[in-house]
Each structure stands twice: as C-alpha cells, then as structure tokens.
Amino acid sequence: MEPNIHNFKALTAKAAKNKTLRATLRRGESHFRAGRDRGLGELPELDTRKSRARAVRLRTLANMPELLEKLEANVIEAGGMVHWAADAAQAREIIAEIGRKNGVSKVVKGKSMVTEEIGLNPALEAAGLEVVETDLGEYIVQLAEEPPSHIIAPALHKSREEVAELFEKELGHSATEIEELTRIARDVLRDKFLNADMGVTGANMAVASTGSVVLVENEGNIRMSTTCPRVHVAVMTLEKVVDTPDDMADVLQLLPRSATGQRLSTYTNCITGPRRRDEADGAGQFHLVILDNGRSRIMNDPDLRETLACIRCGACLSYCPVYGTVGGHAYGWVYSGPIGALLGPQLTSLEEAADLPMACTGCGACAEACPVGINHPEMLMTMRRRLARKNPTATALSTAMAHPAMWRAGAGLARLLDADLSKLSRAPGMGRLARFAARRNLPRLRTPFSKRWPALREELKKERHS
Amino acid sequence: MTARSDILTRLRQGLADAPVSTPLVPDRPEPFFTADWDTLAESFERVHVGFTLVDSPEAAQAALRDLMAAENVATASLWDHPLLAALHVADTLEQAGVRIVSGACCTEAAEVDCGITTADAVLPEAGSIVVRALPSQPRSTSLVPPLHVALVRKEDLLPGGVDDLPKMLTKWKRDGLLPSAVHCITGPSSTADIEQTHVRGVHGPTKVRVLGLDFPLRSCC
C-alpha cells in the first residue's frame, strides 16, 4: 500500500465530518476496551506478567542479530527455507519468485499487516496470480478496494449495511444479517482454500530456538492457509523473533487478553517447518521471509527503538482519543493510532509524516494500556523535538520564550497590533505562523496578570467589605 | 546474501554503539487455577464448547452415539489413536450408522460431517484443546469438518495451562524437531469482524464438542 502519510490533515478533516464513521468507531472502542479490561483483569499478578513480557521484548531488541541467525539455522534444520529482504521490493520479488518456481496460480492470504506494508497483493496480481484475503475483515476491505483501518479489526469502519451492499455488488449474494453475511464469505472462501497453491501469512512471533512461527487467529483462515495449499510463505519483520518457547508463552499470556479479552485466541498455531514426509496434510514447503524495511534503521535510533517492542495487540488504538475520533484511514498508511504515529514516520520519513507525531494529546492513555510498557507519548515528543529543531518558527518562538525580555516585548507588540489574534491568520509575511493560526481557535492576548492585579485586588476588597 | 549481511551488520553496529539494557525478570507466577474438570467445564462454557463428562467406556460410547444422532452426522473421520481404538470409537460410530472415511487431507475432509480426535494436552483455564500434527494425526481432522469432537483424559490437563506449553513442546520433539504443527483450539472458529458481532462458524468448525473421560484407561495409551 502506497503511503498517503503526508495527507493527515485533509484525511482527518474528512474523517471528523463523517458521523457514521464516528458512531462505528465509538462502538469499536467500547467493545475493545471492555474486552481488554476483562481479559487482563482476570489475570492474577498482572504486573509480574507484564514485566516478564516486556523483558522478552527487550531481550529481542538487545540480541536481535544473534536471535535472527539462530532462527534461520533452526528453520533450515526443520526443512524450511529462509529468505532475507532488505526492503519491500525485495520481499515482493522473493515471494513472487517462490510462486513462479512452484507453478503457483492461486494464493490465499491470512491477515497480515506486513504484507499490506509491502504492497504484496498488487505485486502478485501483476505477476498473474489470483490473491484472496481470507480473514473476513480483510476480505471485506479487499472487495471494497480499501486499506484496513485497524490492526486487529481491518473492517472496523464498515457497517453491516455497507458490507451487505458490497457482497450484493461483488458476490451477487444478498443478505442483511451478520450471520448470513459471514456464511456467504465462508462458502466463497472455502472453495478458495481447497484450490489454492500457496498460503501467505504474517507471523505474530518466531521462536529462534525451535525455528517455529507462531500465528494467532480466531477464524481458522490461517490454519486453512497453512494446511491446505502446497506452499506456505510466512513473512515476518526482524523484531518478531523471540528466543525460546518460554518467551513465547510469556507473550501469549498477554497478547490475546490485551487485544480482545480472550484468554487465548480461538487458534494459537505453532508451525515448525514443512509437513514431515510421513504426514498427510500441511504445506509441503515452508518459506520464511525475514524483512527489514526500515527496522534496522529504527534499531540504530536508541531514543525510538522501543517502538519495535510492540506485540500488535491494538490496545493503544482503543484508548487513543485521536484514533477514536478520526479512525485508521486518516493515518494514511497501514499502521494507525499511537503505534502508527510512531511507526509511520520512522518507516517513511519524519518530514513526510510530520503531522503524525503532532496528532497526540499527550494524555498517556496508550502507554497505560500497553501490555509491554511502550511509552508512546514520550517517543512522539522526541519526534516533535526533532521536527521543531528544523522549523524556523518554532525555533524563534522557543528562543523568545527562553528570554523573558524578548518574550515580553514580542507579546506587548502583538497585543498592540492584534490582541484577539484574529488578524494573524491573514497577516502578510507570516507564512507558517499564519497557517498555524488559521486552523486553530487562538486565545485572546490579555493584559498580563501583574498589570491587572492592582485593580482586581481593589475589586475583591470591596466585595469582602460589602 | 547481501540483504542478510547488510541487515545483521547494521543491527550489530547499532547495538555496539548503544546496547539495549534488559531488565531483571521476575519469576513466573504460580498457577492461579486448579487443573480439574470443573475449571475446564467453566472455561469450555465461556468459549462455547459443549462438554460432557463420562465415567465409563460404555458411557463414552453412549454419549458419542447421542452426539452423532443429535448432530445428524452421516460421515466422520478419526485419528488413528490408541485411545480411540481402546474405546472402540470406530465400531461405536458404525453402529450409530456413521460411515468412517479417511479425510486425511483438506479436500477429503471437506466432505466429512465430523472429525474426531483426542487431545495431546488440555489448557484448563483457557479452555483449549492442544493437538499436534503426526502421521496418525492429520491437521484437517480438527479443522475442516463442521463438527469437531475431542476425547480428553484427566491426565492431559496441564496444571500450569499456557505456562506449561513450552515443556510440552520440548516433550513432543521428534528427531530434535518440534511437531510440524501444534494448535491450541479454543472453541469453534469465530469472527467479530462485522460490527464486533460475534459469529461462530467461519473457516473452521462451527461446533466443538468434548467428552471428558473420567475413568482409568489401563489397556492403552
């Protein structure tokens, strides 16, 4: 998917006006919050659990190169093949080549944010392959030719009426109830699974010491995608690796609870290599694509690299007041909400995505919700500081604020010329500052308190005496 | 190979310049539930798994016959497992008019009404049946047919639940390798992707039924 990440303001304005979307977002928000609160609330010694999961993630960051090498060796030991991709283009080419070599014409896909990130579907389609998303939410957005709008609920922005209309138009089946709509998708996709040559999935984790990928899901589409087709390709980014099955268990105790409130998702799948020679089903080939696409650059940025500790439970989205108002599409790319505001600028460019770190109220609800203790607001502030250093207006303002005399002189002048700050947005030669003013309700510049105080004191005195 | 060495070199460089400090890890908490039938029954109820506890082989067979009749099962495929053999599951099904078919791959299993398995382990607090792929244990049996029936023994209940999974994975190694697939199945396949409304029965089974075998099985397994 092509990043439209520089367009946050326009997309936000559009989203904020969409009342249906806001109702849908509110419903999603209360659903996911209630689930998460229940799921984590049921787990005794939660702080210990969180500390353990956080430690797992930080060990991944600390030992990433060794863990990736260990993972590679053990995947190969289990009969799988490992491919390294520096960027999206390489990953697309690797996967298309696996398809070509194996005479693949039909591909089924499990839900995966990373394959959205690398724009895999259009690339495979251009190579002449049929590609079908099989997670219900992903299937809906694929039919609608829209990007997903939530990490764990891709079609969160769609109402049942919209899905019904879409199915009628694209599949020729009409239904109104959610159960019927689900059944229609099941029937169409069942056929796709049984005839597919290749299944492509992401990975929630990869266990270095056993060479396994761990995939968590509710629908069974990932099990179908790894069981029925001849070839299974799992795509992971560098930071998905953990060391041992014990590490996996520590993360599994929190991931589903924090995402949906389930103690475990319906299916927790641990896939190690291809099916063995004597087994009846399962993919006969297993390929693991280890993708960088900007992660090693993030790792080289000590102030921001904790972004990569994320386990993609989506809890930060459910608690973010900005996401809750504008939804996922406003972020203009695959990742939305607080984690998207962190990842987007780092995976594209801070300048291009400069609005994303600004779209944070600093309330800290995301950091509180995060099961592995990522401090999103702090890292977003770091990004803002970096942006401000390159911004002449911000630099001028901060210099003035640091020098009281300069600030008083400036404020006095402004008070004289435009006390209501109403002309600022139209003032010639004010460029960036004028644009800043145009989008905001600015306060009136009032007389400083020190000057108002003598009169105020007299007034209060009189009140007390009367 | 250049992508590989570039990535690893860059990671090593970054970590050499500024290592990541890792915190001390607190001990894993003790199990917080009792691994018994009651805990399991309660968990199964939450995740919409029908659960019947039976106290003898005869009761198990009767429960199976009832289940096949109630769900209108005409064809079933089952794992080649000593526990199912000891309980004469195949004979029981045939007596109930159910035809046994191989169903050892997806296309075959797609024609079958019911898949019958045992459990390699059970997670009592999550309400999960853990199955591993083996030559005698195809993956499709618990996945493709609309009804999945699992027979579980009390000794399969893991006292630590999810925390005990790593231990089991190690135990299940063959030739130094984990099974090609291990699945924790927690209820029928489900989705909430449209308006967060929960619907059971998507790509996997619509129904999961478990028989808890509450009697000693000396002759087998």
3-state secondary structure of B100: strand
DSSP 8-state code for residue B178: -
Pairing state of beta strands B128-132 and B181-185?
antiparallel
Strand partners, A53: none
Contact between chains at B7 and A238 (C-beta distance less than 8 A): yes
The whole-number average pLDDT for the span A368-387 is: 97
Contact between chains at B3 and A228 (C-beta distance less than 8 A): no
B58: closest CA of chain A, how far (Å):
31
Contact between chains at B194 and A249 (C-beta distance less than 8 A): no
Taking only the tens place, the pLDDT of each residue in B155-180 is 999 999 999 999 999 999 999 999 99
Q: Which residue among A260, A263, A280 sits closest to B125, beta carbon to beta carbon?
A: A263
Taking only the tens place, the pLDDT of each residue in A229-270 is 999 999 999 999 999 999 999 999 999 999 999 999 999 999
What residue of B is the nearest CA neighbor of A64? B11
DSSP states of A286-323: EEEEEE-TTHHHHHT-TTTGGGGG-----HHHHH-HHH
Pairing state of beta strands B128-132 and B114-118?
unpaired
Percent of chain A at pLDDT above 90?
A: 78
What residue of A is the nearest CA neighbor of B131? A269
Residues 2-31 on A with a CB inside 8 Å of B are 24, 27-28, 31
Contact between chains at A189 and B203 (C-beta distance less than 8 A): yes
The whole-number average pLDDT for the span A162-179 is: 94
Contact between chains at A253 and B22 (C-beta distance less than 8 A): no
Contact between chains at A281 and B104 (C-beta distance less than 8 A): yes
Contact between chains at B128 and A244 (C-beta distance less than 8 A): no
Q: Which residue among A32, A134, A137 sits closest to B203, beta carbon to beta carbon?
A: A134
DSSP states of B185-214: E-SS-EE-TTTT--EE-SSS-SEEEEEEE-
User: What number is the ipTM of this complex?
Assistant: 0.97
Torsion, Cα A197 A202 A208 A211, to 10 degrees, reads -10
Q: In terms of pTM, does the model score above 0.95?
A: no
Of the candidates A179, A116, A139, A168, the residue with the CA atom closest to the CA atom of residue A328: A116
The whole-number average pLDDT for the span B123-148 is: 97
| pLDDT for B219 | 60
Q: How many CB pairs under 8 A join A and B?
A: 274
